[in-house]
Amino acid sequence: MPTTPTTNLSIGLPSRMSGRPNVRYFKGEYYAMTNPFHKVVGGYKYKNITLGLGSNRQKALSKANCIILAKETFKEWEKLQPQVSINSSNEYEIDKPMYPVVSSRKQYTIDEICDFYYAIKLKKVLNGKFCATSLSQLQTYLDDIKDFWKGYPLEYFDTGNIQTHIDRYYDLGKINKNKFDDKTCVQESHGRSAEALRSCYFNLLKVAKRKKLINFEYNPVSETDLDDIDTTVKRSRCSEAVYKSVFDLADNNKNKHYALGFELAVVTKLRLTDGLLIRKERGSDWKERVKAFRKNRNYGLTKRLSFQDLQGLAPYSYIDNERQQIVVFQQKTGKIFKIPFNHRVSDNLPTVGEIITKISLTCTADSEFLFHHPKNIGRAIKGTAIHPYGLSRKFRILIRELDLDWENLSPPTIGELRSLGARLLKVYDENKHEILTKIKCEQPKIKTDTVSSTIDESIQNAPSANDGIMESLGQTDRNIQFRYLDQRNLILDDCAGFP
């Protein structure tokens, strides 16, 4: 039977808390408190004048102390008033929205939500389900979000304030723009853009809602506006004329092997890291590396994988002399495809096999890598693989020496050679289309099973670069192919600065 207490239940309780007998509860008593968040918009059950704490005295007392402490902390938040005006001093003001969108269970700060979101992504990195490089980029955006909000509670998270942050990115010029340093010849990217910041906000709030940390009918980011912000890539494409000029400069240079690196990049259309990891033959550890990649593409590491990490851990591309082809393992996608030695993108450029022969005659050091330092150059050790930054920097220096007026103001980087190779192949294929069509009609089609059960079968069934542009890029999405073929207002045979 419930018992009826005979003492004053409010003795020893905080001033806001009270206890009274109530036979409806097993212990015969009930505790409540006046709500310190009453009429404090966004506070804990701010619409309720009193808060029920239950019949257990110890638990009720503990809960009451937590609520009182939360109120004191909330007072500190309220002292954080915006100090700037968006119109008068070109700085930005954070306003308290009319309708808060916070959960009623706890007052989370924006910093806490950012840390929670980062912890989720970090766990995915450890499980190999999220790229460590992407995590590093994400941390940059989250740090900037935390710096912008400066500890404000979640009730300030609305469309207008998020739009203010996006507008600040636009005004500061962080819109996929590149900065070329004339002294160091390094083309630096801010690594941030209004579009990417908006995407980070959207995913951040989506995860917060899914974990019941915040509640709203629609994502506030969905109504932010990017219509007036141009997020297109401003970097100029590399034309065939520009490439030939850069190649000639490198070929006449004392380090002629760099010219062969540029040529290999155009004809194979490989991403820079994939091309520089090509080895002369497949090692005994190759299958184990593939298995490790399939299990966890971050190899259990949380940091961004360096080029040295990839050399020691990642599956690599290699030369298969028996079948006269390069077997390519793409670090970005994990997909395998083949580039035959007879593959070419233009009559004016050599075949893949001819380039491999020239590299072998130039890079003669005892090395497992096809493209390596033929001698000790500065810090570079003879026989070691050429670092992507080293080849990229050499390309930038040579581009600068051309002293041209670029179509899109910013000069092309070495990454544009992949697009150049795709565009040249498109023209080359169109010129020989009639011959190929005739040959294909004369040859009977043989249907084979392309499902791979083993790693060796995945190589055997892998697409070949001779099958088409999409296959030569190692892609399965035609939308990606069209991006590489996009000329960005560049005529293939011309470039600003050339007659």
Q: Report the run of H or E that residue 52 belongs to, with start and end.
A: strand 50-54
Among the residue ranges 15-19, 99-103, 458-462, the one predicted with the least confidence is 99-103
pLDDT for the residue numbered 190: 39
Q: Give the span between the Cα atoms of 68 and 319, in whole angstroms.
A: 70
When pLDDT is averaged across residues 451-480 and rounded to a whole number, the result is: 77
Tens-digit pLDDT profile for residues 349-364 = 999 999 999 999 999 9
- Provide the Cα torsion 425, 349, 236, 276; round to 10°: 90
When pLDDT is averaged across residues 27-32 and rounded to a whole number, the result is: 81
User: What angle do the packed helices 416-431 and 478-485 form, to 10 degrees?
Assistant: 100
Tens-digit pLDDT profile for residues 289-318 = 999 888 888 887 777 788 988 999 999 999
Closest CA to 317 of 474, 470, 457, 130: 474
Instruction: Count other C-beta atoms under 10 Å from residue 458's C-beta.
Output: 15
Q: Using the predicted structure, report yes or no on whether residue 169 has a pLDDT greater than 90.
A: no
pTM of the model: 0.65
Burial (CB < 10 A; 0-12, 13-18, 19+), residue 430, is exposed
- Provide the Cα torsion 132, 136, 137, 143; round to 10°: 150
pLDDT for the residue numbered 444: 45
Q: Using the predicted structure, report yes or no on whether residue 21 has a pLDDT greater than 70.
A: yes
Tens-digit pLDDT profile for residues 66-98 = 777 777 666 655 544 433 333 333 444 565 554
Instruction: Please spell the DSSP secondary structure of 173-190, one letter per residue.
Output: T-BS-EEEETTTTEEEE-
Among the residue ranges 7-16, 115-124, 152-161, 322-331, the one predicted with the least confidence is 7-16
DSSP state of 391: H
pLDDT for the residue numbered 287: 92
Burial (CB < 10 A; 0-12, 13-18, 19+), residue 308, is exposed
Q: Which residues pair with residue 377 across a beta bridge? A: 380
Find out whether 104 and 45 touch, Cβ atoms under 8 Å: yes
Give me the domains of the chain, ranges plus CATH numbers.
Answer: 17-78 (no CATH), 110-223 (1.10.150), 240-485 (1.10.443.10)
When pLDDT is averaged across residues 433-449 and rounded to a whole number, the result is: 45
pLDDT for the residue numbered 288: 93
Among the residue ranges 7-11, 146-150, 262-266, the one predicted with the least confidence is 7-11
The residues, ordered by sequence, that sit 6+ positions from 280 with a Cβ below 8 Å of its Cβ are: 318, 319, 367, 368, 369, 370
Instruction: Count other C-beta atoms under 10 Å from residue 131's C-beta.
Output: 18
Tens-digit pLDDT profile for residues 389-428 = 999 999 999 988 888 887 767 788 898 999 899 899 888 8
Find out whether 219 and 202 touch, Cβ atoms under 8 Å: yes
Is residue 118 classed as helix, strand or coil in its secondary structure? helix
Q: Which residues pair with residue 6 across a beta bridge? A: none
Tens-digit pLDDT profile for residues 203-258 = 888 888 887 777 777 778 887 876 555 555 567 788 889 999 999 998 886 778 89
